[in-house]
Structure 1
Amino acid sequence: MMLPLSIWAPFGKEAWDTGRKAIESGAFVFVHTPEDRAFIDLKLYGSKQARRALVRLCNAHPLTPAHQVQLTHMYIHAFVNGALDQILSAQQPPSW
């Protein structure tokens, strides 16, 4: 059974916004290392955020284990892309 748009769309937006805020606030600092673990560390940080968000969502909606896995995957993906978008937008020179 597919989840309704009213559940996954706001969850994805929350993930995107949380990723952007993590970078903007300095809660996560994207630092390149010789091992180049920054992307892996960002995904790990996002997975911790996803776990917290999923607990809140499960309290409001009955979700199957399959739905929980799908939402966790989507949250991490949106979180990472939101964070990377914030990094790139901060690096852009102003357009005159």
Structure 2
Amino acid sequence: MEENFVAHQLSPSSWSRYEECPRKYWLSRQRLPRKASMPAAMGTAVHNSVEDICNLDISDREESETGWLPPTAKAILDRHWALEKATFLDTPRHPRWKDEM
């Protein structure tokens, strides 16, 4: 067996994509940027925000300190949403999406 051999797993959906169109399969493996739908962009912003909130360093906070989480979480979500919204609006797609914003 050749030493540079790398195992490759192929999922049923990948195989189906290949059978449908080998070029489509190849393109799907190139890690090209994809157009996200509005729900996907919102989901990405929420997911990234929750991840950042879970990774907050709260070791320097007083145990009695209250009320800091809601504004902190909102600021994190606003930051992630601004990035996702900009990416979404800058990506060419059907113009009706921009009218709904």
TM-score (ref. length: structure 1)? 0.46
* Rg comparison, structure with higher value: 2
Higher relative contact order (CA 8 A, sep 6+): 1
Q: Greater helix percent: which structure?
A: 1
